[in-house]
């Protein structure tokens, strides 16, 4: 086991990317992702990382470069946040359609109007249906581990799909905490060299990204969806082997104190740890509370989610984004959908909080718990979501 | 778990102080967390940084509202910001000031244990600059040895390279000169 060092999560994330001997990094700096890109640029500049760092003029170009380099067979990385993701949006949808195994770190940040640089999940929820594998990390160590995991899964020839690794902006990116680095032997054991399924090659001309006429588009999309669904078994295998290499074990859905729990919180990302403290406090008072953490967002782990909440009477879904004029929080909407028609389906109560980095403490989660108990005394509809702590 | 809140002005290195403390604690085999008050950097504006140190993994990812220690890098902030907000009853306020503990206590109505040091003078004399972040760490460790003083040497050397010696000297002098004033 390596020694834990005190380091900023962004720097560790960049070091993890560098440890894969990435070939191409194309990114444009944007808060709160900046330190990741800056550090990679430094490593390339210092000669510590033998990669092409392509300082593009926009995120649209960043993802365009990534598609080109990945199609040419290069291990490819990019990183963005919020408005940057919005600007690259057009190309984000193309990467999985072309089965290009790009890895992107998304340092989650609010979408503007009004301008905000702080953390929530409105950026990633805007591309929910982009076709990438999407995972969430809860701590600096998880970010580090999941950089290696993301390359491993994306480049698995049986998967060949891009991966988005989500980490909460500031709450994770700007925190110094203990992180255990992998040694080069562990990286080598876990992550094979990238052997692309198909590459652009002047000697063997192929077309990547051809026109999809109505006669073939539906089939192409069905194949893409199938590829994403099928990626799950390779994702599970990649987590299993990660556990064998570094002794840390990850699952698509993780639970804490759910045994006998009548009310379970459901979280994504870094707030899981803070909510765990609230749940422990509630348990200490004799309240049957539990916690379910969704790590894998796409492909959605339906079975694991259903198993995790089975027996609960109510779920408190914490959303950090809004589906305006729709169903409240996008995560709650997915959870309801995943559980619809299940026997003894738990009531889903939905709290939107932590927008633009507003601090949410264990005490707040306990207040949500109490509110959820009150709400579920009568029937709760999808329109009954709560903007927690909003001043009106 | 020990929670420390640091107050300074943008550019004075409050965040660096929090980082150095966390790195020293982690190097000692403890768990620690350091982070800034998230936002755009504004040189000169009052800023806050946070540090948690614990024997157990730290899961709390919120700001610090009830600190055990408050460290003030810039004396002008004492009259601008409620630096003592939420400070635990047995908590300690550690501040850079040219005044003595009893004088400051009387002027500001401080009821907590107070640790004072003239860090601006020390930093100006030793570093040649009134940047007090590393100096004030000496006063903090005098107030409460949250990490052994020696544990800070390696992080200071890593962070400051050739000017580390001066920073270490300023840190050590503040440790010597800081005065504890109990209520």
| Nearest C-alpha in B relative to A362 | B60
Q: Which domains does chain A have, with CATH numbers?
A: 4-246 (3.40.50.970), 253-387 (3.40.50.920)
Query: Is B37 in the A-facing interface, judged by CB distances under 8 Å?
Result: no
Sheet (strand A296-298) strand order: A52-54, A24-26, A76-80, A103-108, A163-168, A133-136, A296-298
Closest-CA residue to A346 (of A287, A305, A318): A305
Closest-CA residue to A76 (of A190, A132, A4, A154): A154
Kindly report whether the global pTM for this prediction surpasses the value 0.90: yes
Query: Is B62 in the A-facing interface, judged by CB distances under 8 Å?
Result: yes
For B31-83, the pLDDT digits (tens) are: 999 999 876 667 888 999 999 999 999 999 999 999 999 999 999 999 999 99
Which residues in chain A touch residue B158, judged by CB atoms under 8 angstroms apart? none
Instruction: Please give the structure tokens belonging to residue B78.
Output: 């004492």
Supply the pLDDT for residue B37.
87
Q: Nearest by CB to B61, which of A4, A117, A270? A: A270
For A14-57, the pLDDT digits (tens) are: 999 999 999 999 999 999 999 999 999 999 999 999 999 999 99
Terminal Cα-to-Cα distance of chain A (whole angstroms): 52
CATH number, domain containing residue B132: 3.40.920.10
Supply the pLDDT for residue A382.
86
Residue B89 belongs to domain spanning: 2-181
User: CB B32 to CB A357 under 8 A?
Assistant: no
ipTM value, please give it: 0.95
On whether the CB atoms of residues A356 and A322 are closer than 8 A, the answer is: no
Query: Is B146 in the A-facing interface, judged by CB distances under 8 Å?
Result: no
Supply the pLDDT for residue A188.
97
Q: How far apart are CA A21 and CA B15, in angstroms?
A: 31
Which residues in chain B touch residue A7, judged by CB atoms under 8 angstroms apart? 23
A17-44 burial, b for 16+ CB within 10 Å, e for fewer? bbbbbbbbbbbbbbbbbbbbbebbbebb
For A211-239, the pLDDT digits (tens) are: 999 999 999 999 999 999 999 999 999 99
User: CB A359 to CB B58 under 8 A?
Assistant: no
Q: Nearest by CB to A176, which of B22, B39, B65? A: B22
Q: Nearest by CB to A118, which of B27, B38, B59? A: B38
Q: How many domains does one find in chain B?
A: 1
């Amino acid at each position: 086991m390596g020694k834990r060092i005190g380091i900023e999560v962004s720097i560790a994330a960049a070091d993890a990317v560098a440890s894969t001997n990435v070939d191409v990094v194309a990114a444009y700096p944007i808060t709160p992702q900046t330190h990741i890109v800056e550090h990679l640029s430094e490593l390339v500049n210092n000669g510590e990382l033998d990669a092409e760092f392509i300082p593009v003029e926009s995120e649209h170009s960043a993802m365009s470069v990534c598609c080109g380099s990945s199609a040419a067979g290069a291990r490819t990385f990019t990183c963005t946040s919020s408005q940057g993701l919005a600007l690259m949006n057009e190309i984000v949808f193309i990467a999985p359609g072309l089965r290009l195994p790009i890895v992107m770190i998304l340092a989650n940040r609010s979408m503007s109007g009004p301008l905000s640089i702080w953390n929530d999940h409105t950026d990633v929820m805007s591309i929910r249906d982009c076709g990438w594998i999407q995972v969430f990390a809860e701590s600096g160590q998880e970010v580090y581990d999941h950089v290696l995991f993301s390359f491993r899964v994306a480049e698995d020839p049986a998967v060949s799909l891009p991966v988005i690794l989500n980490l909460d902006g500031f709450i994770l990116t700007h925190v110094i905490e203990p992180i255990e680095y992998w040694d080069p032997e562990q990286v080598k054991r876990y992550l094979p060299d990238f052997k692309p399924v198909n590459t652009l090659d002047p000697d063997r001309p192929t077309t990547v990204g051809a026109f999809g006429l109505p006669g073939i588009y539906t089939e192409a999309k069905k194949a893409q969806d199938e590829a994403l669904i099928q990626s799950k078994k390779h994702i599970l295998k990649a987590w299993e082997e990660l556990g064998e290499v570094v002794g840390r074990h990850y699952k698509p859905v993780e639970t804490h104190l759910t045994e006998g729990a009548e009310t379970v919180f459901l979280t994504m990302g870094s707030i899981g740890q803070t909510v765990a403290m609230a749940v422990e406090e509630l348990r200490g008072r004799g309240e049957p509370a539990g916690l379910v953490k969704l790590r894998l967002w796409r492909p959605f782990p339906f079975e694991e989610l259903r198993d995790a909440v089975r027996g609960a009477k109510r779920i408190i879904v914490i959303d950090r984004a809004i589906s305006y004029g729709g169903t409240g929080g996008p995560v709650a909407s997915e959870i309801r959908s995943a559980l619809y028609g299940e026997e003894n389906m738990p009531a889903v109560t939905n709290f939107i909080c932590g927008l633009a980095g507003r601090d949410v403490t264990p005490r707040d989660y306990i207040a949500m718990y109490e509110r959820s108990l009150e709400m579920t005394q009568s029937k709760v509809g999808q329109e009954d979501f709560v903007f927690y702590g909003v001043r009106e | 778990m020990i929670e420390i809140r640091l107050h300074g002005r943008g550019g004075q290195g409050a965040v660096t102080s929090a980082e150095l403390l966390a790195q020293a604690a982690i190097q000692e085999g403890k768990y620690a967390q350091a982070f800034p008050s998230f936002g755009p950097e504004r040189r000169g504006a009052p800023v806050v940084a946070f540090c948690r140190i614990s024997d157990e993994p730290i899961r709390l990812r919120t700001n610090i509202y009830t600190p055990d220690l408050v460290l003030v890098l810039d004396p002008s902030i004492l009259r601008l910001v409620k630096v003592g907000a939420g400070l635990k009853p047995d908590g300690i306020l550690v501040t850079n000031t040219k005044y003595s503990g009893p004088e400051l206590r009387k002027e500001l109505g401080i009821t907590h244990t107070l640790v004072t040091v003239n860090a601006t003078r020390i930093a100006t004399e030793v570093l040649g600059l009134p940047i007090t972040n590393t100096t004030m760490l000496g006063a903090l460790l005098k107030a409460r040895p949250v990490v052994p003083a020696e544990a800070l040497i390696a992080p200071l050397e890593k962070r400051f390279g050739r000017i580390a010696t001066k920073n270490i000297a300023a840190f050590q002098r503040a440790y010597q000169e800081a005065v504890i004033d109990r209520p």
